[in-house]
Amino acid sequence: MGEKQGRQLECQDQAEIEKTWRAKTPKPREVCSAPQRLYVSPDGTHIPIRGQKEWSEVKVATIFTAGIPPKGEKPVREQTRYVGGLEDAETFYKRLYVEALKRKRMRYGYFRRKGYFIGSGVTESSCKHLVGTRLKRAGMNWDKQQAQAILQLRLARLNDRWDCLWN
């Protein structure tokens, strides 16, 4: 059941990524008109995949932008988003790009104004918790589909998208 729901959520995410990618693939001039600064802070860990000699990497990234601050001041983060999954570099790049395009829907500026902390340590902790705690327990072995399904379910729950699974 969980694997099926995870696959459905992953299919929805991939469809959204492909739709956005086709519609908004950056042209050389568009790249120059991107935010003044775009930061990507990736983190990763490895999990054993059944039947493979090498482990696969799970990537979790923080994406945020910052305007160029007045001289002598530090940049302030404007938005943050977390993404993750077992995927190749090209797919991961597309996911990062689409998430960056969706940054206007993120509400981290609101939370920062309310006094909530937003920092990169959350990414490191998320990666450790999502992968280390959930997928690296004693005696656990995963194939790629199972690991991806579990990660998608965890991400749906943590990103308040759980209801999307049941509708």
| Among 1-5, 33-37, 153-157, the least confident range | 33-37
Pairing of strands 38-47, 81-85: unpaired
Query: What is the per-residue pLDDT across 94-151, written as a single tens digit (0 to 9) for each?
Result: 777 777 777 666 666 777 788 776 666 766 777 777 676 767 778 877 777 787 777 7
Query: What is the per-residue pLDDT across 25-66, written as a single tens digit (0 to 9) for each?
Result: 554 444 434 444 444 555 555 555 556 655 555 555 555 555
Segments making up each domain of the chain, as ranges? 2-166
CB 69 within 8 A of CB 76: yes
Q: How far apart are CA 44 and CA 61, in angstroms?
A: 8
Question: Nearest to residue 101, comparing CAs of 159, 14, 23?
Answer: 23
Q: How far apart are CA 146 and CA 34, in angstroms?
A: 36
Q: How far apart are CA 167 and CA 151, in angstroms?
A: 19
